[in-house]
Structure 1
Amino acid sequence: MKFTQEQITQFNSDLKSQSPSDIVKWALEHAEKPVITTNFRPYEAAILHVVSQEFDKINVVWCDTGYNTPETYKHAEEVINQLALSIDLYVPQQTRAHRDVVMGNPSVADESHKEFTEQVKLEPFRRAMEVHKPDVWFTNLRQGQTAHRDNLDILSLSKDGVLKVSPFYYWSDSELDKYLIDHKLPNEHSYNDPTKVLEHRECGLHL
Structure 2
Amino acid sequence: MDFIKENIASLNDELRKKTPIDIARWAMSNAKNPVVTTNFRPYEASILHVCSRTLPDIPVIWCDSGYNTSNTYRHAEEVIDLLKLNIQLYVPKQTAAHRDVVLGIPDIDDPKHAVFTEQVKLEPFKRAMAEFKPDVWFTNLRQGQTSLRNSLDILSFSKDGVLKVSPFYYYADQGLDVYLEEHQLPNEFTYFDPTKVLENRECGLHIS
- TM-score normalised per structure 2: 0.98
2:13 maps to 1:13: yes
In the TM superposition, what is the alpha-carbon distance from 1:6 to its structure 2 partner? 3.5
Query: What percent of counterpart residues are identical?
Result: 65
Instruction: Give the Å deviation of 1:78.
Output: 0.2
**Partner residue of 1:105?**
105
Give the root-mean-square deviation of aligned CA atoms: 0.8
Please list, as runs of the form range in 1=range in 2, the aligned pairs for 1:50-199 lying within 5 A after superposition: 50-199=50-199
Classify 1:3/1:160 alpha carbon distance in 2 versus 1 (closer, same or farther; 3 Å). Answer: farther
Q: 1: CA distance between counterparts of 2:129 and 2:2? A: 17
1-structure distance, mates of 2:86, 2:159: 26
Residue 5 of structure 1 and its aligned partner are, at CA, apart by 3.7
The amino acid of 2:147's aligned partner reads: A
Offset at residue 4 of structure 1 (A): 5.5
Cα deviation, residue 2, structure 1: 3.6
> How big is each residue's C-alpha offset from its partner over 1:16-46, in whole Å with a ceiling of 9 and x where there is no partner?
1110000001000100000000000000000
Report SS of the residue matched to 1:148: helix
Aligned residue pairs: how many? 207
CA distance in 2, matches of 1:47, 1:24: 9
Q: Secondary structure at the match of 1:122?
A: helix
Q: Counterpart in 2 of 1:29?
A: 29
1:73 corresponds to which letter in structure 2? Y
Q: What is the CA deviation profile of residues 110-138 of structure 1, one whole-angstrom value per residue up to 9, with x for unaligned ones?
A: 11000000000000000000010000000
Structure 2 unaligned spans of 5+: none
**C-alpha distance in 1, partners of 2:68/2:57?**
26
Aligned residues of 2:4 and 2:11 also touching (Cα < 8 A): no
Alignment partners' CA distance in 2, 1:108 and 1:63: 21
